[in-house]
Amino acid sequence: MTTSETADTAPDHDPAVIEALLEAAVTRLRTVGALRSEEVERAVRAVPRHAFAPEFPLEEVYDPRAVLITRRAEGGGATSSVSAIWVQTLMLERARLEPGMRVLEVGGGGYNAALIAEVVGPTGTVVSMDIDPVVTERARGFLARTGHSDRVEAVVGDAEHGHPAGAPFDRIIVTVAATDLPPAWTGQLVDGGRLVLPLGVRGHQRITVFTKQGGDLLVGETGNHAGFVPMQGAGAPAPRMVPVTGAVELVTDADPVPAPKALPGVFALSAHQVRSGVRIGGMEPFSTLQMWMTGLSGFGLLTGTAEDFVHRPMVPNAIPAVWDGATLAYLLLPKVPDPAEAYEYVACGHGPRAEETAAALAEHVRVWDREHRNGPGPRFLAHPDLPGADGVIRTRHTRLLALWDRTEHDHALDWKADTRE
């Protein structure tokens, strides 16, 4: 791994410049709904964010949408960052922290842990855990400099095991992408405690808040789309890649996966297209459609760009698709002539069951349009022993059931925030 330039001594900054940038950030966060309470606002004003990212220019540090990448793997992928302020404040608001609480932060760096420490106050406890000793060491230095080291314990550890020595926790706030709910998290949370995390469900990551209902049952509310760095260690995701053709692969965690020889060559078979009749404007968000599609059995995401396909897919590289034996269907989003800025979802199937699979996919889009299009997305039930039924997503540690009959909108922003954290 490599670390981007690490500054041991913070540069001298003009306090008036910091004040102006902070003021602008707070106003923006309030406007978009990422900052709502006096307590979190006070924390944002109290903790000098620039002290946790001394190698970045102030304008970037206080840009509410900027992710400050602090560490990369040899291949260049980001492995650690100071997350964007909008997502940090949103998660803290949704955690509903109170003075005196015991909090575990998974994924360290220091800044977010200092914010938590400010909200839970001197009677609270914060443990900030990171799998990377370099990140932990750096965080310890920053926390000492800002006067938070006696209120935040920065430890090295793998999220998979939680932090038994500090349990039970009133809140667990995970700041790294999770695709599963390890038993340690549920076990180390008090009844009624809240687990806030960027939960990736079949490739779609959303800020989700689970409340422990007793025993191992968690009930979760989904919220904004997010893009945190991937989990390392024992809980690192291991999606299966099934070759289709050239650069196109089907990435799926479905169980069972398609046989390796089932899909190659499928695009050479003639395509069958089914129009859904569902239109969408150029700037309209469709993230609830993506989440809605994850409930289909045989769901996966196709890699590749328009040039790799016979018919142009709706988006590049994370193209929602379903497979059924040797048949593959995915969505296209061609422009319609009238009105000028509208597009229509069209299901495109290849393979022996192209017609039925494409028709089922188009119908799935119609149901989304009728029932969920303007809704907040699903609520989740998570329990390791949930009976396997249609729509239940199996992960290594648990079973997730998406319930779509939500009416209330819990803390979604008016921002389409899809920057990587």
Ligand X SMILES: C[S@@+](CC[C@H](N)C(=O)[O-])C[C@H]1O[C@@H](n2cnc3c(N)ncnc32)[C@H](O)[C@@H]1O
What residues act catalytically?
A: 83
Question: Euclidean distance between the first and final Cα of the chain, in Å?
Answer: 18
* Closer by beta carbon to ligand X, 233 or else 277: 233
Number of H helices, E strands in the chain: 9, 20
Q: Which of 314, 304, 330, 316 is nearest to 279 (CA)?
A: 314
Rounded to an integer, what distance in angstroms lies between the CA atom of residue 156 and that of residue 312?
Answer: 46
CA distances from 76 to 70, 72, 352 (A): 12, 5, 41
Both structure tokens of 127: 């443990």
Distance from chain centroid for Cα 233:
18
Binding positions for ligand X, rule: CB under 6 A:
79-83, 105-112, 129-132, 135, 158-160, 175-176, 228-229, 231-233, 235, 421
Q: Considering the complex, what minimum distance in angstroms separates the CB of residue 19 from ligand X?
A: 22
Distance from chain centroid for Cα 340:
33
Rounded to an integer, what distance in angstroms lies between the CA atom of residue 148 and that of residue 105?
Answer: 15
Residue 211 near residue 171 (C-beta atoms within 8 A)? no
Q: Considering the complex, what minimum distance in angstroms separates the CB of residue 71 from ligand X?
A: 7
302-324: b (≥16 Cβ within 10 Å) or e? bbbeeebbeeebbeeeebbbbbb
Q: Considering the complex, what minimum distance in angstroms separates the CB of residue 221 from ligand X?
A: 21
Q: Considering the complex, what minimum distance in angstroms separates the CB of residue 377 from ligand X?
A: 22
Rounded to an integer, what distance in angstroms lies between the CA atom of residue 312 and that of residue 290?
Answer: 17
Both structure tokens of 141: 């230095």
Tell me which residue has tokens 């290849």. Answer: 350
Q: Considering the complex, what minimum distance in angstroms separates the CB of residue 267 from ligand X?
A: 36
Q: Considering the complex, what minimum distance in angstroms separates the CB of residue 199 from ligand X?
A: 15
Helices (H), 14-132: 15-32, 38-46, 58-61, 85-95, 111-120
